[in-house]
């Protein structure tokens, strides 16, 4: 069935029904789970979750590397009537503390090493901690089979935390329907089949990463989760598991393109998918030369509406900078500054309407109202739409092209980073009086974090101590590539620090 046709939407845990009983579903270090075994493990984990948290709609957080727990929890939490809050394993205690408090999570399941870094006050009294090994052992011992969920598909299934251009990470609320239709849409336009094998290298806390699981299982294929140490590990995994599908972000594609791939290994790949930043024409040429037999999908998305567009791989050589057209179940409109649908090649704001639009930000009506607004009158879906803040244009051929970002978001190595979060961490050290975080163009990262600071009077050791303290408080992907020390900050007409002047100075 094509995803543009009428779709039967189920609660998310019903995805496990789509694979043949004995077909491989999940390849773990400990062994491979068939779809029959996957269904049993999901059921038992859901039964244990229900015994721990009987309250429907309560939140359960996971903070662990890729493995059985993090792969099963999206479906198990859905079956138990809970809302899953996956936490990026790269985050550190301060970010985790914010997510636990903001989401009101009743339980956090994670690796002992990570849980041990949580300090007093990081975990609310109402939230329990348990190691992933203990949780899985308890679920297997209890062996309660929970039946398939009968939840309303419009009910909440997950909260994915993403950084905004200002403030701390905010939780995007995703329904069962959002995630089900996202899985179906991607499986459809990628042409996934039961014999496909997806190497899941992206974090499962991201919508792009989590969809690696869901779209593959929707198609009845198998997933091979991998936390790699070096890009060369990907070559070994593709060879060992006969991987057909690889998803990555531009900085990883740069590293992949620089490796020496054995011909028989690269020939196994059928499709490559990119999101989290644009591919450059040069990188497109390199990937096409390295993997001539693979279809290369350039895609654009935002957590607030899952994914918006993809470019037909047949057009990647002739239109390497295009974002393509709307994916199935998405309606993409370009709205000009007058509020009308933009003409061909006229710049406007990308507006995403349709059933992939998330339900807003968790407990944040003010920021929800800024991003989620009624769809333009021309929309065939109507209802609420995501006004992305991204500037695009649509060609006469109907292909979309990215123009620029309206906000100050830093996008580095596929991560969306809030400048304010970095600035707050720097100011909290007491070593600096002012701080401005900026994203500057970087060939490998897309954007690199640069931090401009003015030292606090009397901070003689600030230049030595600040990098060390930031390393303790911020995850690696938020670390500044360069810290620029200033005697004074430029001030704009409004009396605020002139970020535009600082950017021009550093980028010049």
Q: What is the pLDDT of residues 125-148, one digit of tens each?
A: 999 999 999 999 999 999 999 999
Rounded CA-CA distance 230/225 in Å is 15
* Paired strand residues for 351: 333, 387
Close Cβ partners of 125 (under 8 Å, ≥ 6 residues apart): none
User: H-type helices in 80-172, by residue range?
Assistant: 93-103, 112-115, 132-142
What integer pLDDT is reported at residue 424 of this predicted model? 85
Domains defined along the chain, listed by start:
21-175 (3.40.50.980), 410-507 (3.30.300.30)
Close Cβ partners of 192 (under 8 Å, ≥ 6 residues apart): 186, 198, 215, 216, 218, 219, 221, 245
% the chain with pLDDT above 90: 83
CB 66 within 8 A of CB 226: yes
Residue 494 has pLDDT above 70, yes or no: no
CA distance to 11, 86, 150, per residue, from 80 (Å): 11, 16, 10
Residue range 105-109: average pLDDT? 98
Distance of CA 382 to the CA centre of its chain: 26
CA distance to 62, 273, 301, 317, per residue, from 290 (Å): 37, 15, 26, 14
CB neighbours of residue 227 within 10 Å: 12
219-255 confidence digits (pLDDT tens): 999 999 999 999 999 999 999 999 999 999 887 898 8
CB neighbours of residue 370 within 10 Å: 13
CB neighbours of residue 98 within 10 Å: 16
Residue 308 has pLDDT above 60, yes or no: yes
417-456 confidence digits (pLDDT tens): 888 889 989 988 999 988 999 999 998 999 999 999 999 8
Residue 334 has pLDDT above 80, yes or no: yes
How many Å is the Cα radius of gyration of the chain? 23
CB 341 within 8 A of CB 351: no
pTM summary value: 0.87
Residue range 36-54: average pLDDT? 98
Nearest of 320, 264, 241 to residue 287 by alpha carbon? 320
What integer pLDDT is reported at residue 493 of this predicted model? 61
Tokens describing residue 31: 């062994």
Nearest of 215, 166, 150 to residue 356 by alpha carbon? 215
Nearest of 38, 414, 3, 358 to residue 213 by alpha carbon? 38
CB 341 within 8 A of CB 334: yes
Nearest of 330, 381, 313, 70 to residue 184 by alpha carbon? 330
Distance of CA 499 to the CA centre of its chain: 27
359-410 confidence digits (pLDDT tens): 999 999 999 999 999 999 999 999 999 999 999 999 999 999 998 776 677 8
Residue 4 has pLDDT above 60, yes or no: no
């Amino acid at each position: 069935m094509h995803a543009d046709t009428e779709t039967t939407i189920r609660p998310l845990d019903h995805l496990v029904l789509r694979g043949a009983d004995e077909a491989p579903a999940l390849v773990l270090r400990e062994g491979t789970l068939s779809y029959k075994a996957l269904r049993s493990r999901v059921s038992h984990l859901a039964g244990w979750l229900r015994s721990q948290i009987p309250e429907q709609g309560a939140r359960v957080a996971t903070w662990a590397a890729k493995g059985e727990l993090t792969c099963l929890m999206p479906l198990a939490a859905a079956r138990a009537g809970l809302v899953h809050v996956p936490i990026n394993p790269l985050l550190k205690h301060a970010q985790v503390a914010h997510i636990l408090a903001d989401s009101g999570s009743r339980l956090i399941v994670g690796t002992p090493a990570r849980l041990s870094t949580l300090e007093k006050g990081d975990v609310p009294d109402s939230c329990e901690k348990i190691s992933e090994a203990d949780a899985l052992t308890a679920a297997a011992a209890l062996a309660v089979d929970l039946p398939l969920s009968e939840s309303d598909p419009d009910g909440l299934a997950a909260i994915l935390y993403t950084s905004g251009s200002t403030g701390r990470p905010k939780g995007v609320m995703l329904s069962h329907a959002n995630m089900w239709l996202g899985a179906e849409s991607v499986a459809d336009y990628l042409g996934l089949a039961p014999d496909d094998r997806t190497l899941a290298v992206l974090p499962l806390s991201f919508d792009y990463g989590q969809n690696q699981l869901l779209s593959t299982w929707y198609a009845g294929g198998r997933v091979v989760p991998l936390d790699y140490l070096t890009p060369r590990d990907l070559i070994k995994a593709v060879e060992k598991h006969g991987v057909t599908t690889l998803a990555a972000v531009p900085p990883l594609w740069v590293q992949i393109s620089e490796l020496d791939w054995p011909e028989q290994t690269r020939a196994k790949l059928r499709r490559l998918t990119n999101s989290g930043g644009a591919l450059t024409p040069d990188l497109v040429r390199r990937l096409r030369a390295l993997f001539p037999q693979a279809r290369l999908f350039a895609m654009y998305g935002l957590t607030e509406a899952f994914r918006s567009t993809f470019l037909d791989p047949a057009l990647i050589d002739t239109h390497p900078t295009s974002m393509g057209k709307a994916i199935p179940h998405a309606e993409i409109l370009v709205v000009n500054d007058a509020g009308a649908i933009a003409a061909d090649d006229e710049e406007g704001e990308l507006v995403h309407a349709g059933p992939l639009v998330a339900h807003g930000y968790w407990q944040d009506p003010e920021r929800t109202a800024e991003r989620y607004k009624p769809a333009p009158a021309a929309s065939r879906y109507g209802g609420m739409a995501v006004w992305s803040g991204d500037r695009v244009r649509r060609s006469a051929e109907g292909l979309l092209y990215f123009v620029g970002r309206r906000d100050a978001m830093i996008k580095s190595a596929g991560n969306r980073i809030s400048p304010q979060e970095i600035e707050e961490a720097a100011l909290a050290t007491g070593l600096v009086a002012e701080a401005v975080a900026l994203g500057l163009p970087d060939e490998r990262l897309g954007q690199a974090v640069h931090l401009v600071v003015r030292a606090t009077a009397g901070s003689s050791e600030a230049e030595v101590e600040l990098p060390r303290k930031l390393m303790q408080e911020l995850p690696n992907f938020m670390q500044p590539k360069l810290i620029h020390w200033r005697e004074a900050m430029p001030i704009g007409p409004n009396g605020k620090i002139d970020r535009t002047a600082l950017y021009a100075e550093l980028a010049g």
